[in-house]
Amino acid sequence: MSPAAVKKVRPKYLSLQALLFEIRLPLPGWISILHRISGALLFVAIVWLLWMLDRSLSSEAAFERIRHYASLWPVKLALLVLVWAYCHHFCAGIRFLFLDLDKGIDKATARLTSGIVLAASLLLTAYLGWKLW
């Protein structure tokens, strides 16, 4: 038995410190948890988005008010976060569909496609953010 194996403390309990600083999620793990977080975020945000759709279609004056509202920077920022959440959920979802078909499940490919998903959703967010404002 190697000395390193002897020194390990077992069992190891998960503390908040361990979760935050000691255990490193691999990139595919980040894609997965971000998929979950973005999905939950979008679900909660539907009420806000539906409210804006409702107002924007109710009358010309209300439409202009929503347009002004959407141009305020905190609102813009929140919308941009939601655009990112949508793009990430979209891209990661397509990756998961391929994983369902047993495509790209070896470690190297899984990491590569995770990087692509992360980059593609950020680029899409930047593009849409630039395009919409």
Partner 1 sequence: MNRVVTGAGYGLTDWLAQRITAAIMAVYSVIVLVVLLSGLPITYAVWKDLFSQGWMRVATLLFMVSLAWHAWVGVRDILMDYIKPDGLRLTLQVFTLLTIAAYLGWTIQILWR
Binding site for partner 1 (CB under 8 A): 36, 39-40, 43, 46-47, 50, 53-54, 56-58, 60, 63-64, 86, 90, 93-94, 97, 100, 131
The secondary structure of 12-50 as a DSSP string is PP--HHIIIIIPPPPHHHHHHHHHHHHHHHHHHHHHHHH
42: left (phi over 0), alpha (psi -120 to 50) or beta: alpha
Taking the complex as a whole, the smallest distance from the CB of residue 55 to partner 1 amounts, in Å, to 10
12 vs 36, which CB is nearer to partner 1?
36
Rounded to an integer, what distance in angstroms lies between the CA atom of residue 128 and that of residue 85? Answer: 12
Rounded to an integer, what distance in angstroms lies between the CA atom of residue 76 and that of residue 80? Answer: 6
1 vs 47, which CB is nearer to partner 1?
47
Length of the chain as a residue count? 133
Taking the complex as a whole, the smallest distance from the CB of residue 9 to partner 1 amounts, in Å, to 27
Q: Which residue type does 112 have?
A: L
